[in-house]
Structure 1
């Protein structure tokens, strides 16, 4: 099937299971790290080397109460994923990945909208939160076009913890972004 028809096909959303862990790691890594990530626009390959996640981290999300790791499929193929976590009045959005070859055609927009809807329906939350590396201005701008706002609240990058990658610069930090959902 060609990419154009895959981009417009029906998406199905389901909670990931332990059996999905390896495929989810491969998807997430392909979207953010290494040469394969350069096929899409979400690559972090110039600012971080090493891994973005690993099977243990994915399993922890899948198995933790108050968390949902959504596996997004199109025609039976895993094409995207995202993590939503219940945090009181808010839900946290993360571990978001779309296959690089499918980026830029609206799939990510559809997935984030579905995650917001699912968080509202599941937990009755009134806002979605996320953290984004401040050096990723293009990604922050994309989220702003989806209704997220910068808060100015900065969080340190976990330097020295290679579970999050190997930084290629010394000025990395996260900013909290928030979107009202009601």
Structure 2
């Protein structure tokens, strides 16, 4: 644990602060997303994809592009001034797309993810009038899909192919990856 990361006691007693990301946050966001999903650091938490993919999850250009899009926001969650979680929201008609959801591996398992998801839902309703939230999850992530189902998301049976050959999204370790669309009513 680094000096910037709060202890377990601090995590439960320290206020969580949410704000939209700005350009200066891009390097820290990339590091957080990478640590939550890829490489050895990700194996500390339960959201790792290291058994399915290696390489990068995102890069600075991709995150900066999200920050520059209309109808797009990256929400940051901070404790004691340290970035502990984030998510990306994008308005899509009456729905909001939810993605790039990342919680620091050291902070996983204590309810932080539920709080970030709830804040994202509030943002989508209040700022955009969204009546639905949608996302895609790698189909082979049964534990993650079950977590979202416990929070009101439903599997749709709609699938999208994994972008094989595009190393911006990582190097697949198996040939059968695909995304499933999940949807939740916000009404």
Aligned to 2:112: 107
Contact 1:61 1:67 in 2 (8 A): yes
**Structure 1: how far apart are the matches of 2:34 and 2:123?**
25
TM-score normalised by the chain length of structure 1: 0.98
Aligned to 1:50: 55
Aligned to 1:128: 133
**Structure 2: how far apart are the matches of 1:158 and 1:75?**
37
Aligned to 1:17: 22
**Structure 2: how far apart are the matches of 1:41 and 1:8?**
23
**Structure 2: how far apart are the matches of 1:62 and 1:56?**
10
Q: How does 1:27-176 map to 2 (within 5 A)?
A: 27-176=32-181
1:11 Cα deviation (Å)?
A: 1.1
Residues 30-87 of structure 1: CA deviation (Å, up to 9, x unaligned): 0000000000000000100000000000000011100000111011110000000000
Aligned length: 182
Q: Which runs of 5+ in 1 are unaligned?
A: none
> Where do 4+ consecutive residues of structure 1 move more than 3 Å?
none
TM-score normalised by the chain length of structure 2: 0.96
